[in-house]
């Protein structure tokens, strides 16, 4: 880790250091994945959730050497998995040369500690993998502050576990002097806890002022309509954003390529300009601390007049993803904002898949952001939803020259025909403006 990258924190004078967080060291680049499944869980559902964990692991540069699940209806309180099963997995890991076990749910600090101590398995959970990806992908000050906050919140109850790692010289909180403080047990944990809490307060304070600033900006542009792209990670939000705005936001076939929000003006057919924002993607069971920490970035979502919910319809699990995204939207109080569902990646979806998507979501717009297909139709639908755009036929007498020039400015003229007593027009107009031409509608 290059410390200069984090000069960004200098003015905060944090006492914890950025390399206090290194959940995934280079000697931990091979892993087994593991999950619990109840007797009722379908094998396909378990496979799918482990595949997602595998994509997360790959994004965090970990080689996955095996995927396993244990069937049991309740987790073992102290060790999450059953003891015999853990012994068995330990043997398998040794044989395969896997040095890390990644568990598909959040482990309690005690469970993680017990697995490590009693079974000599280095274990991390899904949350740690996601935090590690966020850590590596954060580029802006805002994103870095939010990730750091989530990391500290996650670390706080786990200090005991971290202290257990002493011999490996990792994971312990260091004093601002940089040398590892070690071997003082409970008392040291108390000190660390205080240091972390102080840093959390400092970061929260800074983030609050970022939020305040955003609220001021929001007031200034209250009248402008706002659109925000939301969706599962990797659905193609940034690709679509770039296609609409030429913003050049980073697009990658990686989970969580985007961690902050970018906003651009977008010229629509009505009402002049709107603003559109691209932002962080969601995933199922997004760690709670992350959602809470990303408040500043997620303000873009809360503030929108319309959400473009982007879906990768070539992915067979798209329906689950839609539900997961809606769940996060509910959590951040954005479920009430109107949504336009955008079924993306039609170029790579097989036709039976498209049929399913059409049946389930007849109101969605089907596009390919990559091939820039059907984007005009999408823009029309945005106009309709944002401005209640109406298609109307009107007849204007020649005496209404002012209204005619107003129409040319404010409406989209589909056709215009000059006749003996006036002009016959077919226009699309914002619902708000309808009253202006009400008496000329035919
Ligand atoms: N075939 C195909 N690929 C697409 C399309 N749109 C996006 N992609 C690809 O999907 C991957 C993810 O695209 P992004 O635009 O980064 O997705 P995102 O939703 O912004 O992802 P995060 O920022 O990680 O949440 C990239 O490899 C894109 O090239 C599409 O319409 N068709
Ligand atoms: Mg993106």
In this predicted model, what pLDDT tens digit does every residue of 172-215 receive, in sequence order?
443 333 333 444 566 777 777 888 899 999 999 999 999 999 88
Q: Give the position, in ligand 1's atom list, of the atom nearest the Cα of 281.
A: 25
Assess whether pLDDT exceeds 70 at residue 18: no
Report the chain's mean pLDDT, rounded to a whole number.
86
- CA dist 264 and 300 (Å) reads 12
- CB 230 near ligand 1, within 6 Å: no
The CA 220 to ligand 2 mean position distance, Å, reads 27
Instruction: Give the Cα separation of 381 and 400 in Å (integer).
Output: 30
Is residue 235 in contact with ligand 1, taking CB distance under 6 Å?
A: yes
Higher per-residue pLDDT: 55 or 285: 55
Mutation test residue for ligand 1: of 59, 231, 247, 251, the one with most atoms within 8 Å of CB: 251
Pocket lining: 309 vs ligand 1, CB cutoff 6 Å: no
Q: Where are the domains of the chain?
A: 1-217, 221-386, 389-440
Say yes or no: CB of residue 23 within 6 Å of ligand 1: no
* Ligand 1 atom 21 nearest Cα: 234
Evaluate whether 1-217 and 221-386 have a shared fold. Answer: yes
Lowest mean pLDDT among 40-49, 182-191, 382-391: 182-191
SS3 call for 413: strand
pLDDT at 3: 43
Mean pLDDT for 161-177 is 40
- Of the pLDDT bands very low, low, confident and very high (cuts 50, 70, 90), residue 161 is very low
Which pLDDT does position 1 carry in this prediction? 40
Per-residue pLDDT of 90-117, as tens digits, reads: 999 999 999 999 999 989 989 998 999 9
| Ligand 1 center to 238 CA (angstroms) | 7
Q: How wide is the angle at C-alpha 97 spanned by C-alphas 286 and 123, nearest 5°? A: 35
Indicate the range of 16-30, 226-240, 319-333, 395-409 predicted with least confidence.
16-30
pLDDT tens across 326-335, in order?
A: 999 998 999 9
Ligand 1 centroid, distance to 409 Cα (angstroms): 36
In angstroms, the Cα distances linking 415 to 196, 217, 272 are: 66, 39, 20
Domain at 1-217, CATH from 3.40.1080.10, 3.30.870.10, 3.90.1150.10, 3.40.50.11060: 3.40.50.11060
- Give the best-scoring range by mean pLDDT among 171-180, 313-322, 384-393: 313-322
- Its CATH architecture, for the domain 221-386, is 3-Layer(aba) Sandwich (3.40)
What was the pLDDT predicted at 289?
81
Classify 368 as helix, strand or coil: strand
Q: Ligand 2 mean position to 353 CA, how many Å?
A: 24
Q: In whole angstroms, what is the distance from residue 136 CA to residue 280 CA? A: 14
pLDDT at 19: 52
Selection from 356, 366, 11, 336 nearest residue 202 by Cα = 11
- In this prediction, residue 29 has a pLDDT band, given cuts at 50, 70 and 90, of confident
428 close to ligand 1 (CB < 6 Angstrom):
no
Average pLDDT over residues 264-275: 81
Give the C-alpha separation, 14 to 8, whole Å: 11
Of the pLDDT bands very low, low, confident and very high (cuts 50, 70, 90), residue 295 is confident
pLDDT given at position 300: 86
**Is the pLDDT confidence value at 160 over 80?**
no
User: 69 CA to middle of ligand 1, Å?
Assistant: 30
Share of the chain above pLDDT 70, in %: 88
Q: Please tell me the predicted confidence (pLDDT) of residue 171.
A: 40
Local confidence band at 164 (pLDDT 50, 70, 90 cut-offs): very low
Position with higher pLDDT, 220 vs 428: 428
| From 133, 229, 234, 315, mutation site for ligand 1 pocket: most ligand atoms within 8 A of C-beta | 234
Q: Is the Cβ atom of 297 under 6 angstroms away from ligand 1? A: no
The structure tokens 């399913």 sit at 356
Please tell me the pTM assigned to this model: 0.82
Q: Which of 7-11, 53-57, 132-136, 400-404 has the lowest mean pLDDT?
A: 7-11
From 280, 370, 375, the mutation candidate for ligand 1 (largest count of ligand atoms within 8 A of CB) is 370
Contacts of residue 376, Cβ cutoff 8 Å, sequence gap at least 6 = none
pLDDT class of 271 with cuts at 50, 70, 90: low
Tell me the pLDDT tens digit for each residue of 233-258. 999 999 999 999 988 888 988 898 88
Which of 8-17, 30-39, 52-61, 404-413 is predicted least confidently? 8-17
Max CA pair span of the chain: 96
243 lines ligand 1 (CB under 6 A): no
Q: Return the closest-CA partner of residue 412 out of 433, 429, 400, 399.
A: 429
CA distance linking residue 260 with residue 313, whole number of Å:
24
The span from the first CA to the last CA of the chain, in angstroms, equals 68
Q: Which atom of ligand 1 is nearest to the CA of 241?
A: 15
Asked if 296 and 214 count as a contact pair (C-beta separation under 8 A), the reply is: yes
Distance (Å) from CA 327 to ligand 2 centroid = 19
pLDDT attached to residue 22: 56
Mutation choice for ligand 1 from 55, 134, 236, CB with most ligand atoms inside 8 A: 236
Confidence class for position 20, pLDDT limits 50, 70, 90: low
Rounded average pLDDT over 289-311: 90
The answer to whether residue 13 scores a pLDDT higher than 80 is: no
- pLDDT for the residue numbered 170: 39
Q: So what's the pLDDT on residue 165?
A: 41
Q: C-alpha angle 354/359/361, rounded to 5°?
A: 90
* Shortest-distance Cα residue to atom 8 of ligand 1: 236
């Amino acid at each position: 880790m290059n410390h200069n990258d984090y000069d960004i924190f200098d003015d905060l004078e944090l006492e914890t250091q950025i390399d206090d967080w290194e959940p995934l060291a280079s000697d931990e680049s091979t892993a087994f994945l593991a999950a619990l499944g109840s007797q009722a869980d379908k094998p396909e559902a378990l496979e799918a959730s482990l595949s997602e964990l595998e994509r997360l692991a790959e994004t965090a540069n970990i080689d996955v050497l095996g995927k396993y699940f244990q069937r049991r209806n309740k987790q073992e309180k102290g060790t999450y998995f059953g003891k015999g099963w853990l012994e068995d997995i330990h043997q398998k890991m040794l044989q395969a040369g896997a040095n890390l076990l990644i568990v598909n749910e959040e482990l309690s600090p005690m469970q993680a500690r017990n697995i490590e101590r009693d079974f000599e398995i280095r274990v991390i959970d899904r949350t740690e993998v996601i935090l590690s990806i966020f850590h590596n992908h954060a580029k802006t000050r805002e994103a870095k502050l939010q990730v750091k906050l989530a990391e500290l919140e996650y670390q706080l109850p786990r200090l005991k576990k971290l202290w257990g790692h002493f011999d490996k010289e990792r994971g312990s909180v260091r004093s601002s002097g940089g040398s590892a403080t070690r071997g003082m047990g409970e008392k040291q944990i108390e000190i660390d806890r205080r240091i972390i809490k102080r840093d959390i307060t400092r970061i929260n304070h800074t983030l609050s002022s970022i939020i305040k600033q955003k609220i001021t900006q929001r007031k200034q542009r209250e009248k402008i309509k706002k659109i925000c792209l939301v969706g599962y990670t990797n659905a193609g939000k940034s690709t679509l954003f770039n296609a609409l705005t030429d913003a050049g936001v980073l697009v990658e076939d990686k989970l969580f390529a985007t961690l902050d929000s970018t906003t651009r003006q977008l010229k629509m057919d009505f009402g002049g300009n709107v603003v559109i924002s691209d932002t962080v993607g969601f995933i199922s069971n997004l760690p709670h601390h992350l959602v809470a920490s990303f408040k500043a970035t997620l303000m873009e979502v809360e503030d929108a007049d319309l959400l473009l919910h982007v879906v990768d319809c070539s992915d067979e699990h798209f329906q689950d993803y839609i539900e997961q995204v809606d769940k996060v939207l509910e959590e951040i109080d954005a479920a009430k904002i109107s949504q336009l569902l955008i079924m993306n990646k039609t170029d790579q979806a097989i036709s039976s898949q498209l049929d399913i998507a059409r049946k389930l979501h007849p109101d969605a717009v089907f596009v390919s952001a990559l091939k820039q297909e059907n984007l005009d139709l999408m823009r029309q639908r945005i106009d309709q939803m944002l401005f209640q755009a109406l298609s109307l036929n009107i007849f204007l007498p020649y005496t209404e020259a002012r209204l005619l020039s107003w129409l040319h400015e404010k409406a989209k003229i589909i056709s215009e025909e000059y006749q003996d007593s006036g002009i016959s027009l077919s226009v699309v107009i914002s619902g708000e403006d309808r009253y202006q031409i009400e008496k000329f509608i035919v």
